[in-house]
Amino acid sequence: CSCKDHQKHNDETGSHQDHPRKKRPKTIEMAALGRSLYPGMLYDCRSDSFIPGVTLWDKASLTQDLDIRKQPNTDLKFSASDSLSDKASLLDVSASLKASLFGGLVEVGGSAKYLNHKKCSEKQSRVTMQYSQRTKFEQLTMTQLGKITYPEVFEQKTATHVVTSVLYGSQVFMVFDRTNADTDNKQEVEGNLNVLVKKIPSFSIEGEGALKMNEKEKELAESISCTFYGDCVLEENPTTYIEALQIYKKLPTLLKQKENDAVPVRVWLYPLTHLDSRAAKLEREISATLISDIQSVLEELGNAERKVRDLFGNKMVNDFEDVKDRLRLFQRSVEDYKLLFQKALSRILPAIRGSQNEKEMEKLTNILLIHQRSPFSTNKLKKWLDDIHAELNLLNTYTSQLGAVQVITSSVKFDEVIFDPRVDTVLCFSFTSLDKDPYLSTINEFLKIEDLENLNLISETSDQDIQAWFRNSEIYEKMRRNFYLFKSFFEVNQGNEKTKFVIDPVSDSSNPGASIQFEDQIWADDLQFVNKRILLNNSKI
């Protein structure tokens, strides 16, 4: 009914318009997202921000004829998706507001902080439960809209709309997570998690007796963590499935007791140009296609962040410090690029919405084109992540086949071996290129730019320019030959207590891939051993 009231008012207030036949701006309905938006507040749709301390009416005028009515409603929804799109959908966020969220223009509060809750790992299974309650509806009347107390506000052009209606209520999100082991069937776990979370309402209705679960359900319930986001304050937020179940039982009573503390859930914005033609206006919106493209970029960057975070749990990453350093650099670079991209959006979006100048729209299009050609494009991120996976598998294969050979993880560990009085000679199989990464050098150079929107279109980064060291067939073959030479010598000399074999990553650009090196404290008397040692030393790549 409120939308009809607004449309009726739109039809009755055309006298101030310079071009009555021109398509008139419509009333905008949007999610409040925990922001303090109340009837009479001014709002700038160009930057999706409200204007505090400035109003068209004095306080008495605002409260005198405010139309207030009860509008009770309760809703329950579930979602097994963690995508930006599906999370925004749960909160009924419009495409335009979603774009502002992507650009960091909107700071969410209360239950809407759920939007910022992202999966930390690809191993996580997640189901979200949303419980929402609506309580009352407030709107300004024609009396207020017809009597402007402070008309000079129109000339300031700081706002494009005024909040004329607000729907109040409360929302609660409970996010259930389960981290899967490598041996788990993720699809099966997600199905069982979904079923168990959706049982929460029936558990609450049937009472304590319904909590009797089978062993499989109990095991799953105990492995589930819960994160709570709500517009109401609890004495203690639930962190487990069972605690969440107990909270859910209390929610209807709890929210009813706190009806007076209900917060704005949805608001309706009325264009100021309908009240006075001097006011600033929303010139145009961002197309749904461009918003979808922006969302895809952020989803891709988020996926890359999760995948690299998972790699830190790989044993090879902990064994080889150079690899760990590269992962850290990649992780930091993706975060920096994401911030660079969002800052560019935060500057461009308001400029597009406040102008008919096509150059502003071209800047946004160019940013997306630059992204596609940049080293942070989907294909380049995927290629690097695939390569680092392959490199870790390679390291695992080589070290596994030398199972009894110690991997030196630090200079301290190496000193322990070198200064062992029982050892005369130490032979090292050294990976020499673990610190070299042309892709990371490329993205480091790219991040020296100050802003994306003023960057000229760049040429696409060639895959050849960022090729991983082990993809070079010549380097790989030499490394393979050295490996088998080291392995055979190790097998022949396992019984020699004076000789120690280790895997020690040592950077050496003159011998890319791998080399065999030795350290000796005392020259051996065995001539055959010395000859073999010299052969190994001469076999460097």
The residue ranges of every structural domain in the chain are 2-274, 288-537
Paired residues of 429 in beta bridges: 503, 516
End-to-end CA distance of the chain: 79
pLDDT beneath 50, residues of the chain: 1-21, 209, 521-541
> Tell me, what's the pLDDT at 523?
40
Contact 276, 151 (CB under 8 A): yes
Q: What stretch of H or E contains 55?
A: strand 49-55
Closest CA to 267 of 57, 12, 33: 33
| Cα gap 528→489, rounded to integer Å | 12
Q: What was the pLDDT predicted at 541?
A: 35
Handedness of CA 448, 454, 457, 460 (dihedral sign): positive
Three-class DSSP labels, 123-179? CEEEEEEEEEEEEEEEECCHHHHHCCCCCCHHHHCCCCEEEEEEEEEEEEEEEEEEE
Q: Are 150 and 55 in contact (CB under 8 A)?
A: yes
Q: Has this prediction a pTM greater than 0.95? A: no
Q: Give the phi and the psi of residue 442 in degrees, each rounded to 5.
A: -65, -45
The token duo for 396 is 């695992």
Residues whose CB falls within 8 Å of the CB of residue 271, separated by 6 or more in sequence, listed in order: 24, 25, 26, 27, 160, 161, 279, 281, 282
Contact present, 233 and 167 (Cβ < 8 Å): no
Tokens at 169, concatenated: 């209520």
Question: What whole-number distance in Å separates Cα of residue 514 and Cα of residue 506?
Answer: 9
CB crowding 218-252: b at 16 or more within 10 Å, else e: eebbebbebbbbbbbeeeeebeebbebbebbbebe
Distance (Å, rounded) from C-alpha 376 to C-alpha 338? Answer: 9
Calpha distance 204→129 (Å, rounded): 14
pLDDT of residue 260: 82
Q: Give ∠ CA 266-271-276 in degrees, rounded to 5.
A: 150
